[in-house]
């Protein structure tokens, strides 16, 4: 009997993978709406993942950028949420609205409104044009600032009352650093930590992986904020990190000389996409090992 090969490259899957509960709910609600036979529209990609978008398109779900593009049927609000004016527009046009905003994003929207109602200048840690931040801005009243980098919050003016919230996928260390800075420029400060604990767990899993391997492959939509954060984190720990959306993007040269590589997906990356990547890495790793 042939003895098992011990020289194959190992693929280490991160401890946390697959959809987060917010993405899972948004996809399930969209699929359930498609089953009804009505015309179903996603206001923006339901999740930042090309495989899921393709699957939903096959079921007749149409992605629209603007509510005005839906003439009839159902509009699904994705996990990122929308500003109140958009929600109202859906209702005013007589369209059926399915709200798949993640419960954690709804919580952040509530806190943002509360801060604005209480007269705080709202400071949002996030990417200005990210859909979740666009939604939060709609609750932030007339005076707010969106900041993402140390340089940006370093330019904030002094203020009497500052209220701080965060886009869910921002790294916790950035939130802590922003809060520490605001304490030096505001007379009064109120803070709601709206960083998503699911993404924090995923970031911990990425760090753990970075402790075990030199190369990490991160799978997820290129426009997915939480996926990009995993790539940044691996790079900050001195690892080679490659961001891909699907298995066919894996390159054998990334694997050359490696005994093991790490694999992790963003919160909107389905497990089957991740497993396809795993298979491809294993196949290429085998070739690389054999060639060496």
Q: How far is CA 247 from each of CA 44, 53, 281, rounded to the nearest angstrom?
A: 24, 16, 8
Catalytic residue among 35, 58, 89, 132: 132
Q: What residues are paired with 41 via a beta bridge?
A: 62, 75
Report how many residues bind ligand SF4 under the rule CB under 6 A. 15
Cβ neighbours for 142, distance < 8 A, ≥ 6 positions apart? none
Q: Is 66 exposed, middle or buried (0-12, 13-18, 19+ CB in 10 A)?
A: exposed
**Residue 22 is a binding residue for ligand SF4 (CB under 6 A):** yes
**Residue 76 is a binding residue for ligand SF4 (CB under 6 A):** no
In angstroms, the CA 261 to CA 212 distance is: 9
**Residue 123 is a binding residue for ligand SF4 (CB under 6 A):** no
Contact pick of 77, 100, 102, 133 for ligand SF4 (by CB under 6 A): 102
**Residue 100 is a binding residue for ligand SF4 (CB under 6 A):** no
**Residue 167 is a binding residue for ligand SF4 (CB under 6 A):** no
In angstroms, the CA 32 to CA 282 distance is: 35
Q: DSSP 3-state assignment of 172?
A: helix
Contact pick of 196, 205, 218, 284 for ligand SF4 (by CB under 6 A): 196
**Residue 267 is a binding residue for ligand SF4 (CB under 6 A):** yes
How many CA atoms lie less than 13 Å away from 29 in the CB half-sphere? Answer: 22
Contact pick of 33, 34, 40, 104 for ligand SF4 (by CB under 6 A): 104
- Residue 132 annotated among the catalytic residues of the structure: yes
The distance of closest approach from Cβ of residue 94 to ligand SF4 in the complex, given in angstroms and rounded to an integer, is 28
Q: Which is nearer to ligand SF4, 23 or 116 (CB)?
A: 23
8 A C-beta contact, residue 140 and residue 163: no
The distance of closest approach from Cβ of residue 18 to ligand SF4 in the complex, given in angstroms and rounded to an integer, is 11
**Residue 23 is a binding residue for ligand SF4 (CB under 6 A):** yes
Q: Known catalytic residues? A: 132
């Amino acid at each position: 009997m042939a003895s098992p090969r011990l020289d194959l490259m190992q693929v280490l899957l991160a401890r946390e993978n697959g959809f987060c509960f917010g993405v899972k709910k948004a996809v399930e609600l969209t699929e359930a709406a498609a089953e009804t036979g009505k015309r179903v529209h996603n206001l923006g990609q339901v999740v930042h993942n090309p495989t899921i978008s393709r699957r939903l398109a096959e079921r007749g779900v149409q992605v629209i950028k603007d509510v005005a593009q839906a003439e009839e049927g159902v509009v699904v609000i994705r996990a990122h949420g929308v500003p109140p004016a958009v929600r109202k527009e859906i209702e005013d046009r007589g369209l059926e609205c399915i709200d798949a905003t993640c419960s954690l994003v709804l919580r952040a929207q509530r806190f943002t409104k509360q801060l604005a109602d209480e007269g705080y200048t709202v400071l949002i840690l996030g990417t200005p044009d990210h859909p979740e931040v666009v939604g939060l801005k709609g609750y932030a009243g007339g005076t707010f600032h969106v900041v993402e980098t140390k340089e940006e919050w370093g330019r904030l003016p002094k203020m009497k009352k500052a209220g701080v919230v965060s886009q869910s996928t921002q790294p916790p260390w950035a939130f802590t650093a922003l809060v520490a800075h605001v304490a030096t420029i505001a007379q009064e400060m109120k803070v709601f930590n709206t960083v998503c604990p699911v993404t924090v767990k995923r970031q911990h899993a990425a760090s753990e992986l970075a402790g075990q391997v030199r190369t990490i492959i991160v799978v997820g939509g290129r426009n997915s904020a939480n996926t990009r954060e995993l790539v940044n984190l691996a790079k900050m720990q001195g690892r080679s990190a490659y961001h891909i959306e699907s298995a066919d993007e894996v390159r054998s040269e990334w694997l050359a000389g490696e005994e093991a590589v790490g694999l992790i997906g963003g919160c909107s990356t389905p497990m089957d996409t991740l497993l396809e990547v795993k298979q491809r890495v294993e196949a290429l790793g085998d070739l690389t090992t054999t060639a060496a």
